[in-house]
Amino acid sequence: MNNSSKMPSIDAHTVTTYPKAKLQHAEIVRLNIIEAAAAIMQEFGPEAVTIRRVAQKMECPTKVIYNLFGSKEGLAKELFLEGCKLLAASFQEVPEQVDIKQYLHELGQAYWDFSQNYTSYYMVMFGGAFSEFKPEEESLLAIGTALQQVITIITKAIEQGIITEKDPILVVNLVWASLHGIIHLYLGGHIINKETAKALYDRSVSNLIHTFFRSDN
Instruction: Report, in Å, the least distance between residue 64 CB and DNA.
Output: 4
Q: Is 96 helix (H, G, I), strand (E, B) or coil?
A: coil
**Contacts made by residues 133-139, CB under 8 angstroms, sequence distance 24+:** 133/73, 133/76, 133/77, 133/80, 135/80, 138/77, 138/81, 139/77, 139/80, 139/81, 139/84
- Residues 157 and 139: their CA atoms lie apart, in Å, by 27
Residue 182, CA distances (Å) to 95, 118, 190, 203 in order: 25, 16, 9, 11
- Residues 54 and 59: their CA atoms lie apart, in Å, by 8
Residue from 22, 134, 194, 214 touching a second copy (CB under 8 A): that is: 134
Among positions 28-47, residues that touch a second copy (CB under 8 A) are 47
19 binds, among a second copy, DNA, none (CB under 5 to 8 A by kind): DNA
Among positions 148-207, residues that touch DNA (CB under 7 A) are none
**Number of residues counted as binding DNA (CB under 7 A):** 22
200 binds, among a second copy, DNA, none (CB under 5 to 8 A by kind): a second copy
Residues that bind DNA (CB under 7 A): 18-19, 22-24, 26, 49-53, 60-64, 66-67, 71-73, 132
Residues that bind a second copy (CB under 8 A): 47, 126-129, 131, 134-135, 140, 143, 170, 173-174, 176-182, 184-185, 188-192, 200, 203-204, 207, 210-211
